Chains A and B, each alone.
Chain A
Amino acid sequence: MNRCPEIITEYMHEYLDGEILPEHKNILTVHLKFCADCRQHFQELEKSIALVKSISHVQAPTDFTQKVLMNLPKEKKKVSVKR
């Protein structure tokens, strides 16, 4: 890995951003076939993204909207008077 050109890591990120040029993708694909260290690096990147995406989505508490509405200023100009 240390001896590999840094550009390979950049291509990995271009790929992960979904913005890789076909020729860069070609270079990356070939290099990953030959270099186990870079392959591992790339797999670890993909895995960490998958893990982050996997955390289940949370929802706002049920009374959330009601609470917001209760705390809105009645008339915008009176905020400072009321509080």
Chain B
Amino acid sequence: MDEFVKSRIKQVRKGDQNAFGEIVELYKDKVFQLCFRMLGNSHEAEDISQEAFIRAYINIERYNIDRKFSTWLYRIATNLCIDRIRKKKPDYYLDAEVAGTEGLTLYSQIPASQLAPDEEVSKIELQEIIQNEILKLPEKYRAVIVLKYIEELPLLEISKILDLPIGTVKTRIHRGREALRKQLRHI
């Protein structure tokens, strides 16, 4: 995989856009998923993941070919997501979670323990609830949780993507897990 990607990137550097198309095909689902779980909205996720690939293309000369390409790409995508989250922060918690998930925000704000015991939560509802709880995490915890448990990346790679010491990554994962525990315990 790595060798193949590197050979394609050499072609991209020579101006071969089709070679870049192959790279996009290989990584599009991973990058889209990362953005979707970080942002919670498929339109924004598409916007940002498109942007990530375009930036990767424009900056391809800056990519160090001795390193793992996916780490570099995820880093671009994660930084774009974090920027987007910070920009929309003031009204984010009021508005964004309501869009496209009618009633969910209201619903999920009721402590689960107050739900009727026989309430059947469908699989899709459950997924929306979990996604919503991930979105409630501050972005520094959200990023590590998504990279670790959705993208299933090793700690070392997460530390490279976020440019943080591995100890910091671990601390954030621990705190993120504790926050999720409190949010999800009654589900």
Interface set of A (CB-CB < 8 Å, partner B): 13, 16-17, 41, 44-45, 47-49, 51-61, 64-65, 67-69, 71-73, 75-76, 79
Contact = CB atoms under 8 A, between A and B. Distances in A.
Interface in B135-187: 145, 149-150, 155, 170, 173-174, 177-178, 180-181, 183-185, 187
Nearest to A56: B127
A17 B24 CA distance: 31
| Chain A to chain B: the 5 pairs with minimum beta-carbon distance, closest first | A60-B32, A60-B28, A48-B180, A48-B184, A13-B174
B46 A60 contact: yes
Interface of B: 15, 17, 20-21, 24-25, 28-29, 31-33, 36-37, 42, 46, 49-50, 53-54, 57-58, 126-127, 130-131, 134, 145, 149-150, 155, 170, 173-174, 177-178, 180-181, 183-185, 187
A44 B149 CA distance: 16
A56 B127 CA distance: 8
B150 A55 contact: yes
B54 to A, nearest CB: 6
Given A51-B187, A52-B134, A58 B36 contact: yes
B12 to A, nearest CB: 10
A44 to B, nearest CB: 5
Contact of A47 (B145, B149, B185): B185
Given A64-B32, A68-B53, A44 B127 contact: no
A52 B145 contact: yes
Contact of B50 (A13, A51, A67, A76): A67
Q: Which of B24, B155, B170, B173 has the most CB of A within 10 A?
A: B24
Nearest to B28: A60
A64 B177 CA distance: 33
Contacts of B177: 13, 16, 45, 48-49
A57 B127 CA distance: 11
Nearest to A71: B54
B113 to A, nearest CB: 13
A61 B21 contact: no
22 contacts: A13-B170, A13-B177, A44-B185, A48-B184, A49-B149, A49-B180, A52-B184, A55-B131, A58-B37, A59-B32, A59-B33, A61-B32, A64-B49, A65-B28, A68-B20, A68-B21, A68-B24, A68-B54, A69-B17, A69-B20, A72-B17, A73-B58
Given A51-B126, A64-B49, A65-B21, 13 more contacts: A44-B184, A52-B149, A52-B150, A57-B33, A57-B150, A58-B29, A60-B32, A61-B32, A64-B50, A65-B25, A68-B20, A68-B57, A79-B58
